[in-house]
Amino acid sequence: EAGVAQSPRYKIIEKRQSVAFWCNPISGHATLYWYQQILGQGPKLLIQFQNNGVVDDSQLPKDRFSAERLKGVDSTLKIQPAKLEDSAVYLCASSLATGVLWYGYTFGSGTRLTVV
Amino acid sequence: AQTVTQSQPEMSVQEAETVTLSCTYDTSENNYYLFWYKQPPSRQMILVIRQEAYKQQNATENRFSVNFQKAAKSFSLKISDSQLGDTAMYFCAFRHGGSQGNLIFGKGTKLSVKP
């Protein structure tokens, strides 16, 4: 099966600019996650979608970050305006769940954002 | 809230030898999953091994095995016959049980396998 696709792979922007990342999950995976991984740390959840609804966005800095998952498939994550501390790798993952069963995660290769 | 702690920022091992990476976690739940992920420079998170908390038997995947101590909340990863391709960041992660849930990661251990 095709993996989780993310683009772009790299992005360099100046502070106060805006940026958007795109994720295409594995076909049929209802749950989609965006993680932020700052250099030297483990990934931290930003937002979790179930189909096109938000399950958890408690750690999303909503004053500058936004995310959507139209039609319950692709998702975009936007930062506006960017700050220096937003420099990180942004990972997208998807998973399949039916009822109470859950089958694991698949991660994309991430987007490395550098804010200068 | 659940937390995951990896106390070894960096480790190294000679090729063909065995290395153990440590992980402890904190939770009040009884039903959960634990994972070890490998992250090479390509950045993609690759699942190494998975353990369901209700299973007493330690998970094993080829050269990779875990020592799961539920009472001690410890979940260490043993890599046997280390290979150069094992060089990567290794993350321990926790997920609570059920169909909804996200991964909580530790800070990672950078493993270097030396020829």
Q: How many CB pairs under 8 A join A and B?
A: 58
For chain B, 115 residues long, the average pLDDT of each consecutive 10-residue run is 92 98 94 94 91 92 96 97 97 84 92 97
Interface list for A 53-112 with B (CB within 8 A) = 55-56, 89, 91, 93, 97-102, 104-105, 107-110, 112
DSSP calls for A71-94: GGS-EEEEESS--GGG-EEEEEEE
What residues have CB less than 8 Å from B56, skipping those under 6 apart? none
d(CA A39, CA A114): 11
Instruction: Please state the rounded mean pLDDT for residues A68-95.
Output: 95
**pLDDT in the model for residue A101:** 61
Instruction: Please state the rounded mean pLDDT for residues A78-98.
Output: 93
- Is the CA virtual torsion A53, A58, A62, A66 positive or negative? negative
Three-class SS of residue B80? coil
**pLDDT in the model for residue A98:** 61
pLDDT at A100 over 70: no
A86/chain B closest Cα distance in angstroms: 17
Confidence of residue A107 (pLDDT cuts 50, 70, 90): very high
**pLDDT in the model for residue A15:** 97
pLDDT at A89 over 90: yes
**pLDDT in the model for residue A102:** 63
| Nearest beta carbon to residue B99 from set A35, A102, A112 | A102
Does B103 sit within 8 Å of A105, measured CB to CB?
yes
pLDDT at A97 over 80: no
Range among A85-94, A97-106, B29-38 with highest mean pLDDT value? A85-94
- Is the CA virtual torsion A57, A58, A61, A64 positive or negative? positive
pLDDT at A114 over 70: yes
pLDDT at A72 over 70: yes
Q: How many residues does chain A have?
A: 116
**pLDDT in the model for residue B2:** 82
